[in-house]
Amino acid sequence: MHPAYSVIFFTVSSGAGLGLIAFMGLGALRIDTMSTGFLLMAFGIGFALSVGGLLSSTFHLGRPERAWRAFSQWRSSWLSREGVLAVVALIVAAIFAGLWLFLDLSSAILGILTAVLAMLTVWATGMIYAQIKAVDLWYRWLTPVCYLLFSIAGGVILFLFIHAAMTGKAGWELSSVAMVALLVAWAVKMFWWIGGDRAPRSTPESATGLGHLGKVRLLEKPHTGSNYLLDEMGFHIGRKHARKLRLISVLLGAVMPILLILLAIPAPLDVLWLGLALLAHLTGMLVERWLFFAEARHAVMAYY
Identity at 232, one-letter amino acid code = E
3-class SS string, the chain: CCCCHHHHHHHHHHHHHHHHHHHHHCCCCCHHHCCHHHHHHHHHHHHHHHHHHHHHHHHHCCCHHHHHHHHHHCCCCHHHHHHHHHHHHHHHHHHHHHHHHHCCCCCHHHHHHHHHHHHHHHHHHHHHHHCCCCECCCCCCHHHHHHHHHHHHHHHHHHHHHHHHHHCCCCHHHHHHHHHHHHHHHHHHHHHHHHHHHCCCCCHHHHHCCHHHCCCCCCCCCCCCCCHHHHHHCCCCCHHHHHHHHHHHHHHHHHHHHHHHHHHCCCCCHHHHHHHHHHHHHHHHHHHHHHHHHCCCEHHHHCC
Residues 68, 270: Cα–Cα separation, whole Å: 43
Of 129, 130, 128, nearest to 141 by C-alpha is 130
Identity at 48, one-letter amino acid code = A
Sequence-distant (6+) residues with CB within 8 A of 197 are none
Residues 190, 196: Cα–Cα separation, whole Å: 10
pLDDT along the chain (304 residues), means of 10: 84 94 77 72 92 78 60 76 91 91 82 94 94 89 96 94 81 87 96 86 77 83 71 70 92 95 77 92 96 86 71
Domain chopping of the chain, boundaries = 5-302
Whole-number pLDDT of residue 33: 56
Percent of the chain at pLDDT > 70 equals 87
Model pTM? 0.88
At the topology level, CATH places domain 5-302 in: Formate dehydrogenase/DMSO reductase fold (1.20.1630)
Residues 190, 125: Cα–Cα separation, whole Å: 20
In whole angstroms, how far apart are CA 149 and each of 119, 122, 157? 10, 9, 12
Whole-number pLDDT of residue 21: 94
Contact 292, 2 (CB under 8 A): no
Whole-number pLDDT of residue 267: 65
The per-residue pLDDT for range 80-89, each reduced to its tens digit, is: 888 899 999 9
Residues 273, 262: Cα–Cα separation, whole Å: 9
Contact 163, 34 (CB under 8 A): no
Contact 181, 156 (CB under 8 A): yes
Backbone torsions φ then ψ of 206, nearest 5 degrees: -75, -35
Strand partners, 263: none
Whole-number pLDDT of residue 227: 72
